[in-house]
Structure formats: structure tokens, C-alpha cells
């Protein structure tokens, strides 16, 4: 019996070049068709975890413009209830006395988000440099 030597047999090889070409073409397709969008939102400064220092006599504390958003979505500025359309004018009047006054919006728990966003927008459009949002306990 004659035996063939293993060196005489051609081993079958799989050519991977076409598969790699397809993979690279798909990779290029996905890179080119991917769209990157930036979501629109409101920029807010969050308080840091460090303890704040109490104000000293040397610092001048500016007058704060306080706006309260109640549970029933009514808005109170300076002790008076006002309409959402008049918030911008009220902020402008308050900033006329001191342009560096911060605006603080106190939203009661359970109030809607839409009026809160409208108040923030109107305060920014009225020229407020610093707008902060705080949550307070609402009246029950």
C-alpha cells in the first residue's frame, strides 16, 4: 500500500479578503450616516457640596428678586399674585434698581414644570444674570 505524503496534499484555505472588504464598507457606511445632535436644554448651575461661608460685613449682599410658583401654578412676586405674562416686566423693574440682583424662583412641591420653564425663560430674556430654582414645601 502506498501512502501519500502529507506535503503533497493541498490544504484548503478560506480567503478572508472579501469578508473584510464588506466589513469595512459597512463600518464606513455607519460612520457616515450617523448624525450627532445636541439636545436643547436649560443651563443651570448646581450648588456644590461644600459648606458655604456666612456673609461678612464687608460683602454687600444684593437685593434678591424672589418669585414663588404655587401648587395651583399661580405666581407670586413681591407678595402679590401676578400673571405669567407679567413676570418679565416685573423682573425688568426689579433689575432696574440693581442689575446684578439674582432671581430666585421658589417652586412649591407639586407645581407644574411648564410654568417654571416659562418663568426661567422670561427672567433670562429680561436680563437676569443669575437665575436659581429652589423647591419649597407647599401649603396643604
**Tens digits of residue pLDDT in 46-101:** 766 555 555 555 666 668 888 999 988 889 988 889 888 888 888 888 888 887 88
Which CATH number is 65-136 given?
3.30.420.270
Distance CA(26)–CA(112), nearest Å, equals 46
**Tens digits of residue pLDDT in 17-26:** 999 999 999 9
Provide the CA 21 distance to its chain's centre, in angstroms. Answer: 42
Helices vs strands, H then E, count in the chain: 3, 5
Burial of 27 (0-12, 13-18, 19+ CB in 10 A): exposed
The answer to whether the predicted template modeling score (pTM) of the entire model surpasses 0.95 is no
Domain range summary for the chain, segments of one domain joined by +: 65-136
Amino acid at each position: 500500500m502506498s501512502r501519500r505524503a502529507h506535503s503533497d496534499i493541498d490544504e484548503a484555505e478560506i480567503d478572508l479578503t472579501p469578508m473584510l472588504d464588506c466589513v469595512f464598507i459597512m463600518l464606513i457606511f455607519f460612520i457616515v450616516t450617523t448624525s450627532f445632535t445636541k439636545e436643547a436644554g436649560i443651563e443651570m448651575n448646581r450648588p456644590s457640596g461644600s459648606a458655604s461661608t456666612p456673609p461678612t460685613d464687608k460683602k454687600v449682599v444684593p437685593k434678591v428678586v424672589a418669585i414663588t410658583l404655587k401648587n395651583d401654578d399661580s405666581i407670586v412676586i413681591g407678595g402679590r399674585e401676578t400673571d405669567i405674562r407679567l413676570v418679565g416686566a416685573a423682573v425688568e423693574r426689579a433689575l432696574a434698581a440693581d442689575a446684578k440682583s439674582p432671581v430666585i424662583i421658589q417652586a412649591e412641591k407639586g407645581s407644574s414644570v411648564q410654568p417654571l420653564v416659562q418663568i426661567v425663560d422670561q427672567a433670562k430674556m429680561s436680563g437676569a444674570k443669575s437665575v436659581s430654582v429652589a423647591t419649597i414645601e407647599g401649603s396643604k
